[in-house]
Amino acid sequence: MTPSLLMIVIVSISAVAAAAQTPPEKEPGPLLPPAAEGDCDAVAGRDFEGFTIRSVALNHPFEFLPWVHRQLEDLRPRLKIVQNHEYSTADEIADFQLLKSQFLLPSTSSSAVPFRIDALVASLSDCRNHALNVEFDVVTSQFFSNPTPEARAQVFERPEDAANLTRPKTFELTPTVGYNATDSFFVGGRLRALIRRPVASLDHIDLDGAGSSTYQSVTGALNGSFALTSFGTIAWNLGYRYQSLPTDTDSMTESRFNGRILATTHQLNNAGMVVRFGAQVEGGNLQSGFQASDVGSESIASTTYSSARLYSGLTFGTKHTSFRSSYGFEVGANGGLGDDWRRHVGDASFDVWFPVGDHRPVQIESRFTAGAIQHASNVPIPVGKRFFGGNVEESFLESDDWDFRANPVLRSIPARQYNQTSNGVGAERFYSLNLTVSPAVWRQPLLPKEVAESPDLKMEVDKQWDLNAAILAANYITKDPRYPDVRAKLPAVRDALASLTIALNNSTASVSADIQPLFNACVASSRLGTRRVNSALNDDAAVSPDIKYGFLAALLRESKEQVLPKVIDACKNKLGPALNNPTVTAAADTLVQSFNDIETAYGKVNRDLAIQKGNEELVFAKRVFNTVMHDLNVWSISPVFTFDTARIWPETADGNGLRYGIGGGIRVTLVSHANFTVGYARNLHRIPQEDSGALFVAISITQLLR
């Protein structure tokens, strides 16, 4: 559809400081010449009054969310534009105003203020035979600055979460379904209880469980977090974990308690660089059904244990790339506290995606993981702490916020069946390399093309991103160590303006008619200056520092208002010589000195750094918005091509520690509802007891409690 009437685009992206700043409404832009029959621009005088309304559409890209769907269903009967009725411009304008007032973004559970997008486009099309179509397209979203690879993946899997359009709820239920040859077909889910009023930074409680005839897993955890303005966020976890994991010969059982802390910095540059680090302590039981002959002399089949983990990582990315690297170190002891064994794990991934057509992205994912265990020659390693490979990933850090792989992944071998070494089951060292290519072949775009490509929308969005960058820069300026010196100069400016006002009041009688306009201009500018200074000095704690800064900045030469330079120009440069009043001149000179003092102090504030930080903070939010606008599909079907290679040590006598395999499959994505991937990978370098390949299945279902 080619829009023929773009009535108005309203976009507001704001922090609290700019919530009341609404861009002015736009008049329709210049019309393009008629392109084809039915083009509404071809209608004489663009007079559509009395046309029959052929159809009416009210679209929202997130209508699949139940609360958005209900809102649309409630609004549709209230529209004055009705199918098979006569069109009226007044009715369309009334409907536009109704929709603009109704689509409010939900509140978020975060203490941070999001960057907001509210856009509404009204258009007419297919103006033939004295009839036309009317369409309203609504885009609403809000973003936080969270540029980790896990957050980027969320944009494609659950864009309503990335855009913070989900309404806060007390309980979230997410089903889990999967299959692999080792674990068999398993089902389960996660129940998350959100704490509306966090106590001691506790914000949610999780209970996870999944099981089959051979596999069981249960996890319960208390989770909390808090933000440090100058640093980032710190999250903590206290939990219990039980799991029984089958292998090709026997099973391993783990039962433990753990405490974890994870720190994540703000993004450090325009590439969204983020540093993560943390620690975990744990203790419990590692049991298995293996016999001594299965595990060898350097392993122990079952034991109590305790351990501590340290981990760190780095992530960054661009619009079409994402890189992350992680390193983890674990030191543990059998039967108590000590340093019996140490595990080292490194994990790095590089993902890239690029469009090869309209909403047809090609995703290429690559990943390299390696690990090693150190131990004294006379101290056995718990077999549960050795490395077991296969087509299921095991995590060094069980956290949704950090994807940290800790085992060799080979999709051509069932889970935990890649484990045979010269010392029995379980490897002491390994590496693995994985490559996945997935081009979208069939798809349905999330947004109509005419909305996503609207030049008016792009222009207004760009303006508002600039506005929001300025607001963020103002916030950083108020945190500059030299900024208090600037505020300390405000009382002197206030007093100078007060003296000037008194001098002007006392000279009223001597003002002649010919200089009255100059006198009035001086009085008006000094009154505005007084209001701005008083607002900047407002000691009301409810007024944020960045708002006060806005009033302060308005006084200075750098601002658009230039309040004080205009006062000086009006009172000293223009009125002073004409009035020739020594008291007024002296008061104006005092104001000039106060102005120079505050300008000097302000010049020492590092505004360039503040602007840089403000722009960096918007990088991720801009990328998410652009992805939603131009790349996301409601559903897509993609072929999947895989290549894996891995090696484990100590190798068996025949040297068969190396494996590699290729595979293919299909991935079906129904955005925000489910992701389903099924495929088969061929084991091209197998030992006699291994299968020729393995089926891999991944099913992800989003929350049921919406």
CATH number of the domain bearing residue 638: 2.40.160.50
The reply to whether 40 and 95 lie within a common domain is yes
Contact 99, 23 (CB under 8 A): no
Tokens of 194: 């959100």
Sign (positive or negative) of CA dihedral 408, 410, 416, 422 = negative
Q: Which of 435, 453, 433, 437 is nearest to 445 (CA)?
A: 453
Contact 299, 381 (CB under 8 A): yes
The reply to whether 499 and 557 lie within a common domain is yes
Q: Which residues, other chains included, contact 285 with Cβ-Cβ below 8 Å and sequence gap of 6+?
A: 253, 254, 255, 256, 302, 303, 304, 305
Tokens of 270: 């325009």
Fill in the DSSP letter of residue 357. S
**Domain-embedded: residue 624:** no
The one-letter code for the residue type at 448 is: P
Rounded CA-CA distance 687/654 in Å is 10
**Domain-embedded: residue 611:** no
Rounded CA-CA distance 587/571 in Å is 9
**Domain-embedded: residue 623:** no
Instruction: Please count the structural domains in the chain.
Output: 3
Rounded CA-CA distance 404/331 in Å is 17
Total residues belonging to the chain: 706
Query: Which of 114, 141, 168 is the last residue in one of the domains?
Result: 141
Q: Which of 539, 619, 687 is nearest to 145 (CA)?
A: 619
The reply to whether 641 and 666 lie within a common domain is yes
**Domain-embedded: residue 4:** no
- DSSP of 510-534: G--GGGHHHHHHHHHHHHHHHHHHH
The reply to whether 291 and 414 lie within a common domain is yes
Rounded CA-CA distance 602/306 in Å is 56
Query: Which of 553, 588, 605 is the last residue in one of the domains?
Result: 605
Element (H, E) at 26: none
Query: Which of 115, 141, 167 is the last residue in one of the domains?
Result: 141
**Domain-embedded: residue 108:** yes
Helices (H), 198-252: none
Q: Which residues, other chains included, contact 401 with Cβ-Cβ below 8 Å and sequence gap of 6+?
A: 148, 150, 235, 262, 264
Contact 583, 445 (CB under 8 A): no
The reply to whether 244 and 331 lie within a common domain is yes
**Domain-embedded: residue 469:** no
Q: Within 10 Å of residue 604's Cβ, how many Cβ atoms? A: 12
Burial class (CB in 10 A: 0-12, 13-18, 19+), 373: buried
Query: Residue 46, by phi and psi: left (phi above 0), alpha (psi -120 to 50) or beta?
Result: left
Element (H, E) at 701: strand 693-701
Q: Which of 434, 433, 431 is nearest to 649 (CA)?
A: 431
**Domain-embedded: residue 405:** yes
Q: Report CA-CA distances (Å) from 345 to 175, 327, 414.
A: 30, 6, 22
Residue given tokens 């080619």 in the structure block: 2
The reply to whether 191 and 264 lie within a common domain is yes
- DSSP of 597-640: HHHHHHHTS-HHHHHHHHHHHHHHHHHHHHHHHHT-EEEEEEEE
Mean pLDDT split into 10-residue runs, the chain, 706 residues: 30 29 35 51 82 89 72 88 91 84 56 56 85 82 54 51 54 82 89 79 90 94 84 90 93 95 83 88 94 86 95 86 92 89 96 82 92 89 94 87 91 93 92 93 77 71 76 87 94 95 93 93 94 89 81 91 94 93 94 95 92 79 74 83 95 83 89 73 88 81 40
Identify the three-state secondary structure at position 310: strand
Q: Which of 285, 286, 233, 239 is nearest to 259 (CA)?
A: 239
Contact 186, 210 (CB under 8 A): yes
Strand partners, 228: 232
Residue given tokens 């340093």 in the structure block: 339
Query: Residue 416, by phi and psi: left (phi above 0), alpha (psi -120 to 50) or beta?
Result: left
Identify the three-state secondary structure at position 498: helix
Q: Which residues, other chains included, contact 299 with Cβ-Cβ below 8 Å and sequence gap of 6+?
A: 380, 381, 382, 383, 386, 423, 424, 425, 426
The reply to whether 595 and 646 lie within a common domain is no
Give the pLDDT score at 483: 94
The reply to whether 326 and 399 lie within a common domain is yes
Contact 256, 284 (CB under 8 A): yes
**Which range marks the domain in which residue 601 is found?**
481-605
**Domain-embedded: residue 38:** yes
Residue given tokens 């700019």 in the structure block: 18
Q: Which of 595, 676, 508, 628 is nearest to 161 (CA)?
A: 628
Task: Kindly provide the residue ranges of all beta strands, DSSP E only, lying in 231-360, ordered along the sequence.
Answer: 232-246, 251-265, 274-288, 299-300, 303-318, 321-334, 341-355
Angle subtended by helix axes 490-506 and 516-536, to nearest 10: 150
Give the pLDDT score at 116: 59
Q: What is the CATH number of the domain that holds 595?
A: 1.20.120
The reply to whether 234 and 356 lie within a common domain is yes
- DSSP of 130-170: TEEEEEEEEEEEEE----SHHHHHHHHH-HHHHTT-SPP-S
The reply to whether 95 and 211 lie within a common domain is no
Tokens of 191: 């129940």
The reply to whether 567 and 649 lie within a common domain is no
Q: Report CA-CA distances (Å) from 50 to 87, 94, 128.
A: 5, 17, 13
Element (H, E) at 557: none
Give the pLDDT score at 704: 37
Q: Which residues, other chains included, contact 45 with Cβ-Cβ below 8 Å and sequence gap of 6+?
A: none
Give the pLDDT score at 22: 32
Rounded CA-CA distance 161/177 in Å is 21
Fill in the DSSP letter of residue 24. P
Q: Which of 96, 81, 88 is nearest to 134 (CA)?
A: 81
Q: Which of 472, 358, 528, 555 is nearest to 114 (CA)?
A: 472
Rounded CA-CA distance 652/637 in Å is 42
The reply to whether 200 and 308 lie within a common domain is yes
Task: Kindly provide the residue ranges of all beta strands, DSSP E only, lying in 12-156, ordered along the sequence.
Answer: 52-59, 115-128, 131-143
